[in-house]
Amino acid sequence: MKRIIRIYLLLGITLTPCFRLLAQELRTGIDFDRMILPKVEFLSKLQLRKSFVGQNPFYIVTQAGLEYKIIKQLSIAGSFRYSLEPLGISENSLSPFSDKMRYTAETKVKSKRFDNGVRLRYRLRYQHSETQQGKSKDYLRNKLMLDYKLIKEMTPYAAAELYFRLGENELQKFRLYLGADFKLFKREAELSYILEGDFDDTYFLSYHMIGVFFRI
C-alpha cells in the first residue's frame, strides 16, 4: 500500500499538468476484486474524480457488485454505485454536491485469445440511476472491446460504447475508449482515455476523460 501511495504522488506531480491540457476530467482509484466462491467474484472500486471545467471540486465514487461466471467466456453481473457529484456552487444550493445512486445488471461475453494476440469482448448493460433531487435515467449500454497482448506486461485495448436512453427511446451518447492494462511493481494498473459524445437536438457535446487506476 505504501508503494501505491508513492506511485500516486509521483504520478500526481508529473502528470497533472498534462491532464489539465489534454482532458476535462481526471479519474483515479483502486479496484479490489476477489473470488468468494468457485464461480462468484466480488468486485469493488473506489474512485476520486476531478473535473477541470469550472470550479468543480474532487468527488468520490464507490461501487460494489458480484459477477457469476456461467462458463469461461460468459458471465452475468450486477452492481450498486454511490457517488457524491458536484452540482456547482449557487445561491440556491446549500451543498455543492448531490447524492447519486446507480444500479446495473449486465451480461459479458468474451472470445478466446486468437493466435495473433487479439481478443474480443462484448458487454450488454442495463443501467438505472437516480439523484437526491428525484431525477432518474435508464439506459441500455452496448460496449464492444478489442484488446491485444502486446507483451507479457502490457495489454493495450480499444472500445466503443453506445448509450440508448429508455423511456425516450433514443440514442443519447457514445464513448470511445483507448487504454492499456499493465503490470507496475508487481501490481496491475490501467491507463485509460475516454472520449464521450452527447447528442442534443441542436448541438453536439464532447467530453474528454483520463484515468489512472490500480488493482489490488
d(CA 123, CA 161): 9
Per-residue buried b or exposed e for 145-180, using 16+ beta carbons within 10 Å of the residue's own CB: bebbeeeeeebbbebebebeeeeeeeebbbbebebb
When the pLDDT of each residue in the chain is averaged and rounded to a whole number, the result is: 85
Q: What is the mean pLDDT of residues 90-94?
A: 43
Q: Dump pLDDT digits (tens) for 26-43.
A: 999 999 999 999 999 999
Non-local (6+) Cβ contacts of 46 within 8 A are: 29, 30, 32, 60, 61, 62
Is the pLDDT at 106 greater than 50, yes or no? yes
Find the range with the poorest average confidence among 12-16, 61-65, 83-87, 93-97.
12-16
The pLDDT assigned to 91 comes to 40
The percent of residues above 90 in pLDDT, for the chain, comes to: 61
d(CA 6, CA 16): 15
Structure pTM? 0.83
Is the pLDDT at 191 greater than 80, yes or no? yes
Alpha carbon of 188 to those of 30, 155, 183: distances in Å? Answer: 10, 11, 5
Q: What is the SS3 assignment for 134?
A: coil
When comparing pLDDT for 10 and 211, which is higher?
211
The percent of residues above 70 in pLDDT, for the chain, comes to: 81
**H-state helical runs in the chain:** 2-22
Tell me which amino acid residue 144 is: L
The pLDDT assigned to 22 comes to 62
The CATH number corresponding to 2-215 among 3.30.420.300, 3.40.50.450, 1.20.120.530, 2.40.160.40 equals: 2.40.160.40
Is the pLDDT at 48 greater than 60, yes or no? yes
Q: Dump pLDDT digits (tens) for 140-170.
A: 999 999 999 988 889 999 999 999 999 888 9
Q: What is the mean pLDDT of residues 200-214?
A: 82
